[in-house]
Amino acid sequence: MTKTAAVIGGGVIGGGWAARFLLNGWDVRVSDPDPDAERKISQVLENARRSLPGLSDAVLPPEGHLSFAASLEEAVEGAAWVQESVPERLDIKHAVYARIEAVTGGEVIIGSSTSGFRPSQLVEGAAHPGAIMVCHPFNPVYLLPLVELVPAPQASLAQIDEARGVIEALGMYPLHLKKEIDAHVADRFLEAVWREALWLVKDGIATTQEIDDAIRYGFGIRWAQMGLFETYRVAGGEAGMKHFMAQFGPALKWPWTRLMDVPEFNDELVNLISDQSDAQSGAHSIRELERIRDNNLVAMLRALKAQDQAAGALLNAHEKTVRAGTILSARAADITRPALPVVTLHRAVPLDWTDYNGHMTESRYLDAFAQSTDRFMEVIGCDAEYIAAGGSYFTAETHIRHLGEVNAGDVISVRTRVLQGGGKKMHLWHEMYLGEDLVATGEHFLLHVSLETRKPVDAGAAVDAALRRFADAQAGLPRPEGAGRGIGAPR
């Protein structure tokens, strides 16, 4: 049964939470007095639909239903999770919690997106303090996986486990902090870098762009996949962390930073930084900058995913969970229904599959059809074990027709049938669909080879029998339009 999340506060963070829940199959009710809340969340959701599905090579659950409640009480009624993202004022948060608790009675976790308040501050005066806990995400919430989970001292183990379970089911990483502190952990790092950066700008040492360049071309990339301490462990060479500490420890006494001091936050400093920032990034609108950011994040996260490292390992684990709940007709049972085309691919189109025209680039059609061929090979028994034993299929000829546009975030399916099969030969016909619209076809002729001699040989008996079963059963289907068509020939 679809669960419902209540999002209280529909700003940048609240909108990101709404998108993360919606695209993972939750219904979402939003409560926000801002008359522009619906427009703002729609824009965030548009970016999320474009980027989040493409992180996974499995299709996310069907998108949940988004609604805007007339009152806070209406939003939280019957919700399985409440995410509070109201302004950073304790009086506002306390008033919101009192209204939520009057409806939920402490039976539902109330996660706070606060970036600074400790849970003991949040629960002051609460009737059910154990249900209120810090669940601090990072922007954009729909892409970045970290959630700092800081429960109040009154929280039970069952409540903490419930919160962890919800966060993990969204494909996020709950960093459970056992001891509370102002600004938690990650924002304290950001604050330290921010303070130092303010001094560097004020003292004329570096501009805003030069500081950003120092981060994005240097340690920012290392931190993205290895963090701080592991980075320094590697810097210590074969001797490891002790050597690094011995070598660079004395620098801690040198006047390298001004972290204990803050420049006066006056109009002069604000204008200096604002003017430099406008010169650096003013050519782009905020929406354009968000899309540039999302493009880069997806590309980096997918690169980490390919290496099964850091946030990429988290994506792979979540994808296994998503796949486990997805039923494709290409599973083993379909070999008992060989007269039907086999669904060999069902996935979202990631951002890095698109080109300068904004749609899926032509090489990715081949990539998608190649994945479909690989999946069909598995269905007939030409799997990793068979290939390791020395047999496989090599593609000899391919013809792809592009019949419609496919864009980032679109969910595509490929249905595969056998036009000819047996002995050394396998002739496949792939049809790519966007919904019920045919957007591309791929015709592929393959030869079975010995990986020892690299020459064509008959397929193994079991693979050959399975392939012939499909070929014979599908022989009575109408020949697909376009099969055998020469390039440039009229449709």
Q: Which residue numbers belong to the known binding site for NAD(+)? A: 9-14
Q: Residues near 5 by Cβ (< 8 Å), separated by ≥ 6?
A: 17, 18, 21, 26, 27, 28, 29, 79, 80, 81, 82, 83
Q: What is the CA radius of gyration of the chain?
A: 27
Contacts of 432 (CB under 8 A, 6+ apart): 345, 365, 368, 369, 406, 412, 413, 414, 438, 439, 440, 441, 442
**How far apart are alpha carbons 468 and 477 in whole angstroms?**
15
Closest CA to 411 of 470, 484, 349: 349
* Residue 389 near residue 342, CB atoms below 8 Å: no
> Nearest to residue 99, comparing CAs of 141, 71, 67, 120?
71
Instruction: State whether the Cα torsion 33-34-38-42 is positive or negative.
Output: negative
> Which segments are annotated as binding site?
9-14
Per the listing, tokens 């996020």 go with: 172
Give just the sign of the alpha carbon dihedral 433, 436, 439, 443: positive
Helix (H) and strand (E) counts in the chain: 17, 13
Residue pair 209/276 in contact by the 8 Å Cβ criterion: yes
Annotate 393-438 with DSSP letters as a single string.
EEEEEEEEEE-S--BTT-EEEEEEEEEEEETTEEEEEEEEEETTEE
Cβ pair 402, 440 in contact under 8 A:
yes
State the virtual CA torsion across 382, 386, 388, 390 in degrees, nearest 10.
Answer: -90
User: Which residues touch 85 (CB under 8 Å, ≥6 apart)?
Assistant: 7, 8, 9, 10, 11, 13, 14, 17, 112, 113
Helix crossing, 311-324 with 286-307: angle to 10°?
80
Give the dihedral of Cα atoms 306, 307, 311, 317; nearest 10 deg. 70
